[in-house]
A and B are shown apart, each in its own frame.
Chain A
Amino acid sequence: MVFFINMPKAKEKKEKKEKVVNGFYKGYDVEWLKKNPDHPDFGLLKEIEEK
């Protein structure tokens, strides 16, 4: 039988803040994102609206 003692937990990726803070949301300037509909994370604007 094999025992695993004190196995380190897999590091969880640091979650970005999920609020609009000083105009930024998850790393993006919200006003800038609005002007860049071709950005892959443009959909975040919808998340903000739903909150």
Chain B
Amino acid sequence: MGKASQYISALKMGHKIYPEDIAGMVGLPSVGNIFYVDPANGSDSLNAGKNHNRSLATVAGAYSKLTADQDDIVILAAESSTGRTAETAVVTWAKRRTHILGNGPRRKMNLRNGLGTDSTLTGQTSTAIFSVTATNCSFTNMSFATFQDNNILVSVQADYNTFTNVHFQGIGHATAGDDANARSLVISAAGENEFYDCTIGIDTVARGGAANASFEATGSCPRNKFYGCEFPMYADGAEPTWVKADTGNCFERYLLFESCLFTNATLGSATTITAGMDLSATGNGQVYFINSRWYGATDLTNTVTDLINDSPVFDTNDQGLMGVHANS
């Protein structure tokens, strides 16, 4: 068996085949440049990130090397237990058509390649740890996490972004768990973002005493969609919600949850929350709750005006009967 370098002239002369030369290997038929991040052994100051042996250390370091609109990709290929970076500042993802891919098996929860926060990155009350302000980006097979006292983990402020197999490990500090402004995920004035097989929140840090939310849509947010996603929670007060969408137009046209699980660990001694969803009566659209299940809340929502639901029993007022929307 011969080696390719014996037959391919370019290789014979010492040229290398880089991942970006092999179309499709990271799930896109055409890619621009690839930059590697290894939180354990990488370095933002010493390495260029062009191959795994010369990895960068943080997502911020890799982001600075990306060019918009050529499908540049950051590959998180960690060599540590958690596989999470230690970002020292909030990251704003503002370059269109750029992507992050975790180099691990397809999972829904606690993926071992991800963006994490250094112990010094704490006390963020209103700025998200990771803000997406560009369109057409994708985030795949990775976790976003903060276990410091930061209120908002990820804020999506632009349209047409896709999250696949992403765990949003937000509200990971007990102080944030007691803060009304804490969120794992926020969509702010942005539409047509899609989430496939993601997990939003954690159930290992208690939340309560304030009405925080796993996910919030605020501003005009048309046609955002969640497929096969889980929303775990451990409440130690009745106030938190899985979903907060309580401003005008925040589910404009519609907001979709299909085959999703909303769970609060009440059979594991968590406190029953009052309502799973805090919805606006003037959201200017429908909230579709299709083939989904919830547990650990007295009511699924505080108002059923715009909720279109095919699951049995979504309000205590239904007395255990199938809840059918008036317009269905």
Contact = CB atoms under 8 A, between A and B. Distances in A.
A21 B234 CA distance: 13
Interface stretch (B4-12, B203-211, B241-249): B203-211
Contacts of B164: none
Contact of B205 (A14, A21, A23, A29): A29
B147 A27 contact: no
A9 to B, nearest CB: 19
Given A29-B234, A40-B119, A22 B269 contact: yes
B174 interface: yes
Nearest to B84: A38
Contact of B206 (A14, A27, A39): A27
A20 to B, nearest CB: 12
Contacts of A28: 174, 204-206
Contacts, number: 45
Nearest to A24: B206
A24 B172 CA distance: 14
A18 interface: no
Interface string A3-43: 00000000000101000011110111100110010111100
B174 A41 contact: yes
- Bin the interface of chain B by size: 20 to 34
Interface in B127-149: 147-149
Contacts of B205: 27-29, 32
Contacts of B122: 40
A38 B85 CA distance: 11
Chain A interface main SS type: loop
Interface in B236-295: 236, 268-269
Nearest to A26: B174
B269 A21 contact: yes
B209 A39 contact: no
Nearest to B174: A27
A40 B149 CA distance: 9
A28 B177 CA distance: 10
A34 to B, nearest CB: 11
B192 to A, nearest CB: 35
B57 to A, nearest CB: 15
26 contacts: A16-B174, A21-B269, A22-B269, A23-B269, A24-B234, A24-B236, A26-B174, A27-B177, A27-B178, A27-B205, A28-B174, A28-B204, A28-B205, A28-B206, A29-B204, A29-B234, A32-B204, A32-B205, A36-B147, A38-B82, A38-B116, A38-B119, A39-B147, A40-B149, A40-B173, A41-B174
Interface of A: 14, 16, 21-24, 26-29, 32-33, 36, 38-41
